[in-house]
Structure 1
Amino acid sequence: MLFAHDTEVALVAAAALVNTTGSDGEKLPDLAALDDFVRTYEWTGDREHTAAELRAVQDLRPRLRRVWEADEDEVVQIVNTLLRESNALPQLVKHDQWDYHLHATPSDAPLATRLAVEAAMALVDVVRSGELSRLRVCELPDCGNVVVDLSKNRSKRFCDAGCGNRAAVTAYRARKAAARA
């Protein structure tokens, strides 16, 4: 394991949140989609279930996306801003099936705040470990999704939206066409 379990979970969730918007449309269009996202990534704590909550989560996405495009100094600036704006106060907590891990907001903080702070806290570990190169953009042309490479050999090149399969099929077809020619 490269990072602590809660760090890896937060990084994957942050990438998934960023990838809910992009060239293939809005994947977080309504409260039902937000509910599914929260359930899929096992976010705990209070929820408002309002349009304002949905909008706040949607508004967080471009701020997090910037992390995948920025250099280290800008990532640090983004992380520090997210933590400062949220008045983050890291504490060890234990709940549900989780052993002790860090939370930096109370469970009744707004969902977008909790998402921002969890991502920021995970990014603290990434920066401190000198592992920003593990945050990438999918290599399939025209995809644009972000990737968190948690592999031991740093080999993850494609996002989780099937781009690896599409790249393999494209390469296979190109080889077959070249063989016929």
Structure 2
Amino acid sequence: MVFAPDTEVALRTVVNLINTAANGREGLASIADLDSFLATEGFSGSRSRDEAELASVHQLRVELAAVWTADEDAAVGTVNRLLRDASALPQLMKHDGWDWHLHATAPGAPLADRMSTEAAMALADVIRSKEMERLRMCESEDCDAAVLDLSRNRSKRYCDTGNCANRAHVAAYRARQAAAG
């Protein structure tokens, strides 16, 4: 394990949120799409379920995508701003089958504040651990998806949004076969 379990879950949620806009598609086009995303990610708490909430999640997605490719100083600035804007106050919580983990906003806080705080807390762990290189972009030439590398040897190169790794491996195999033939 590289990070605490709740940190890894939050980082995976960030990747999945960023990747809802990868490769020219919009995976959060409607409130129903956001409902589905939050259910898949196991994100609980109050919701307004309106267009303003959806727009605030879209804005958060843009900010988090920028952190994914930022240098450490820029990432720190964004993380600190996200925590400050949400009036974060870390507390240990236990709910929904989860053992003790950190929350830094109240369950009734606006969705974007709760999401940004969860992301910022996880990204703070990444920064403090000097592990920013684990946040990268897919190496496939035709993909712009985010990648979270939690492998022991830091070897993950391709996203989980499609078949990027498979296509790269098949192309490499074919190139080796052509060179040998």
C-alpha distance in structure 1 between counterparts of 2:156 and 2:7, whole Å? 18
C-alpha distance in structure 2 between counterparts of 1:23 and 1:126, whole Å? 25
Alignment correspondent of 1:37: 37
C-alpha distance in structure 2 between counterparts of 1:23 and 1:155, whole Å? 22
Amino acid at match of 2:53: E
Q: Point out the more displaced range, 165-174 or 63-72.
A: 165-174
Alignment correspondent of 2:119: 119
C-alpha distance in structure 2 between counterparts of 1:39 and 1:166, whole Å? 30
Within a 5 Å distance, the mapping from 1:1-40 to structure 2 comes to 1-40=1-40
Q: 2:134 aligned with 1:134, yes or no?
A: yes
Q: 2:174 aligned with 1:173, yes or no?
A: yes
Identity across the alignment (%): 57
C-alpha distance in structure 1 between counterparts of 2:111 and 2:167, whole Å? 34
Amino acid at match of 2:169: A
Amino acid at match of 2:177: K
Q: 2:102 aligned with 1:102, yes or no?
A: yes
Alignment correspondent of 1:144: 144
Matched position secondary structure for 2:92: strand
C-alpha distance in structure 2 between counterparts of 1:173 and 1:26, whole Å? 33
Tell me how far 1:178 sits from its aligned partner.
3.7
Tell me how far 1:179 sits from its aligned partner.
4.2
CA RMSD of aligned residues (A): 1.2
Note the residue ranges of structure 2 that are not aligned, 5 or more in a row: none
TM-score of the superposed pair, with normalisation by structure 1: 0.95
Tell me how far 1:32 sits from its aligned partner.
1.5
Deviations 1:30-74 (A, max 9, x none): 111111110111001011111111111111111001111111111
C-alpha distance in structure 1 between counterparts of 2:23 and 2:79, whole Å? 26
Note the residue ranges of structure 1 that are not aligned, 5 or more in a row: none
Deviations 1:1-57 (A, max 9, x none): 111000000001001101111333111111111111101110010111111111111
Matched position secondary structure for 1:19: helix
C-alpha distance in structure 2 between counterparts of 1:133 and 1:3, whole Å? 14
Deviations 1:99-152 (A, max 9, x none): 010000111111111111000000111111111111011111121111111111
**Shift >4 Å, 4+ stretches:** none
**How many residue pairs end up in the alignment?**
180
